[in-house]
Homo-oligomer: A and B are copies of this chain.
Amino acid sequence: MQDLQPLLRPRSIAVVGASTQPEKVGGMPIRLLGELGYDGRVFPVNPGADTVQGLRAYPSVEAIGEPVDLAIVAVPAPAAPDVMAQLGRAGTRAAVVFTSGFAEVSGGADLQHALAAQARAHGVQLLGPNCLGAMNLRERVYATFSPIPLAGVPPVGDVGLVSQSGAFGGYAFALAREAGLGLSHWVTTGNEAGLQVADVIEWLAHDPQTRVILVYMEGARDGARLRRAFAAARAAGKPVVITKVGTTAAGAGAAQSHTASLAGEDAVYQAVFDEYGVHRAHTLEAFFRLGYTLARGRRPMRWHSPTGMPADAVAPVAIVTVSGGVGIMMADSAESQGLPLPPMPDAAAVALREAVPFASTTNPIDVTGQIVAQPQVLADALAGVARSGAYGSVAAFLAGGGNALKVWGVLQQTIDALARDPQAAPLLISGVLTDDKRAWLEERGCLVFREPAHTIEAVAALARSAAVTESVLTPSVEPQLPPVPELPLDAKALSEVEAMALLAHAGVPVAAHGLAHDADEAVRIAESLGFPVAVKICSRDILHKSDIGGVVLNLHGAEAVRDAFEQVRRAAGASTFDGALVARMVRGWGEIMVGVRRDPVFGLVALAGIGGTAVEIFRQMAFGLAPLSQERARAMLVQSRVEALCSGHRGHPSLDLDAVADVIVNVSRVAAAIGDRLDTLEINPFIVGAEGLIAADAVITLR
């Protein structure tokens, strides 16, 4: 892990290219550090001035006469590599380079390379270039040239924010200030010649002052580093919220075609986020709302389930509403998020119906507009469900009711009591409330939203976060990779017989088959397998077997097999011909495809989906990193709808989904065992039938 202490908690800061004009790039950090109360030492470096903004200036880095923790670099791009060397020689530990004109402009990549090389050679930690810098709000370190903190800073808090984009980072800072969201650190990584977003996430995961990590990224340069960072955050129990736009930093030029062309890549990112329980936000609003929710919200209470719900089920939520219609909107949202809505427990229901005969005690629990006349009804309903033990959380919609004087007084009493009760489920409230009432509620651990649907979204995010934390407690088992024989160095692919053998050895059921070297042998094999059979060309050189007439299906007799053998031998032409694969035709009620391909960022990625015509029409594939865990494989079955095909589809028997997932896990392990040599692995079709999955064809290409 990179230690960001010198960058984010420096005892001394040099500003190289310091300007006497506070609004200039080289002047702003000096102004900010001075005005906002940084209490370390600041050394302006400017050969043309004796003092800079009231501080003694130094003609060079060397002239400071002592090593500094952090240097802020605001010199023209061509001078930056030399400055970096000087900093290194002077013992500087970290440097932020604001200057643009590096890899983001054509012809600037070499200069960036030189800058990074100097930093590396001298052991200087590099943030940037072309970045907006970094801040530590608690220590009042403002290593940025953005004037935005001059207009005010957010409260010191426990949300760490890291953004590849400076403009996004600046805007996020302003929004955090407006929303009163407390920040610990703020880091923009720019061109990432040194530190990457992943390094900052990993450090924040270990930083005791950070509890939630907000991330904006355009693309990862190093998938393994990002995964390590996510793993560190997960292990530390710190939720990560990410906004990842649908493109890579490199390809920002043709943005209008990005979403389409990189949809696959985005699905891989999503699979990585899913794997580590990273929360994803697609809008700025959702980004901040999730930050607020995860920083301030309480996880669902443990609940008891009289109806015998499985212990690992999602915690149920009670919806308490003054409007039946809004309650149903919230219920719709809960259902789409998979949150159970069991009805009000009997005692609480009886009490509510006694007070308001036309109240609804199913869930959503509708206390109706009566609350204005009978405010105690609302308070009692909230307390009743929060203390019932039947719910993990309580989501309430008050409309404008909270502002009615009588209602507010009664609510205050109840909520104050609930806040002191460790057995009461957390409360999430929506409605129109004045700022002071909102603050009062938040001080008592309630989350407050304007939009009723956001209370439900927050309950789901907190439940997910709790589940991620718990999953860390279960030690994960290192996957056993199957042995793979030495693969010939010059081979571009395995033959189908070789691929089938590898798979079968790893526990992947394959269609019964044999390799025939002549027509007589083909017939003998077919007769021993039983008809009908398929006859297929077997050659490392021929991947698209059916395109050249190398596949004959559904053969019912010896003569047909003999003819087919001759046909596929002729089809081989001048290519290597290992023989003909004679395979039993597999029957089932559907087909899926499972594959593994190489992603440029994350390496081997497994995918699964419904096969046949639907695969091209609906394109609902699910992705996961190879080798897959059993949990991830199960999640992929759901995401791809393969689960539906295996669960009593059209009256067919239901398969053991754990066994189906195991097969997919085993496929991914074959790919992982081949490792660096693997280009792609594809099983298509994988027949879904009464015996489970059986591979009817397999292609493995190498690199």
Binding site for B on A (CB under 8 A): 100-101, 104-105, 132, 147-148, 151, 163-168, 170-171, 174-175, 178, 216, 218, 243, 245-247, 252-256, 258-260, 282-285, 322-329, 331-332, 334-336, 341, 343, 357-358, 360, 362-364, 368-369, 372, 399-400, 403-404, 431-432, 450-453, 589-590, 610, 612-614, 616-618, 620, 641, 644-645, 649-650
Contact = CB atoms under 8 A, between A and B. Distances in A.
A130 to B, nearest CB: 9
Copies of this chain, how many?
2
Contact of A614 (B101, B151, B163, B610): B610
Given A164-B325, A171-B399, 13 more contacts: A147-B372, A165-B325, A170-B400, A174-B400, A178-B432, A245-B329, A255-B327, A255-B328, A256-B331, A282-B329, A284-B450, A614-B614, A617-B645
Given A166-B369, A325-B218, A432-B174, A259 B645 contact: no
Nearest to A245: B328
Contact of A246 (B151, B328, B360): B328
Contacts of A324: 165, 167, 218, 252
A174 B641 CA distance: 43
A104 B260 contact: no
A617 B646 CA distance: 10
B246 A326 contact: no
Contact of A285 (B326, B431, B450): B450
A38 to B, nearest CB: 23
Select the residue from A104, A332, A616, A641 with max chain B CB neighbours within 10 A.
A332
Contact of A362 (B167, B256, B617): B256
B167 A323 contact: yes
A97 to B, nearest CB: 16
14 contacts: A100-B358, A105-B357, A170-B369, A171-B399, A171-B431, A171-B432, A178-B432, A245-B328, A253-B362, A255-B341, A259-B336, A283-B452, A284-B329, A284-B452
Most buried by B among A178, A258, A259, A450: A259
Contacts of A260: 335
A170 B614 contact: no
Contacts of A614: 610, 612-614, 617-618
Contacts of A399: 167, 170-171, 174
A431 B167 CA distance: 12
Contacts of A166: 323, 369
Nearest to A168: B325
A362 B254 CA distance: 7
A432 to B, nearest CB: 5
Which 8 pairs show the lowest CB-CB distances between chains A and B?
Answer: A167-B323, A614-B614, A165-B325, A256-B341, A171-B399, A245-B328, A259-B335, A255-B331
Contact of A360 (B252, B331, B613): B252
A398 to B, nearest CB: 9
Nearest to A361: B253
Nearest to A341: B256
A648 to B, nearest CB: 11
Contact of A328 (B218, B325, B452, B590): B218
A335 B618 contact: no
Contact of A617 (B331, B431, B649): B649
Nearest to A614: B614
Nearest to A329: B245
B255 A326 contact: no
A154 to B, nearest CB: 13
Contact of A432 (B175, B243, B255, B323): B175
A446 B260 CA distance: 30
Contacts of A452: 283-284
Contacts of A327: 255
B104 A358 contact: yes
A167 B328 contact: no
A247 B328 contact: yes
Nearest to A336: B259
A690 to B, nearest CB: 16
| Residue with the greatest number of chain B CB neighbours at <10 A, chosen from A101, A323, A590, A620 | A323
A400 B245 contact: no
A278 B369 CA distance: 30
Given A171-B432, A285-B450, A613-B614, A360 B329 contact: no
Given A328-B247, A399-B174, A323 B165 contact: yes
A612 B611 CA distance: 13
A400 B148 CA distance: 8
> Which has the most chain B C-beta neighbours within 10 Å: A148, A243, A325, A360?
A325
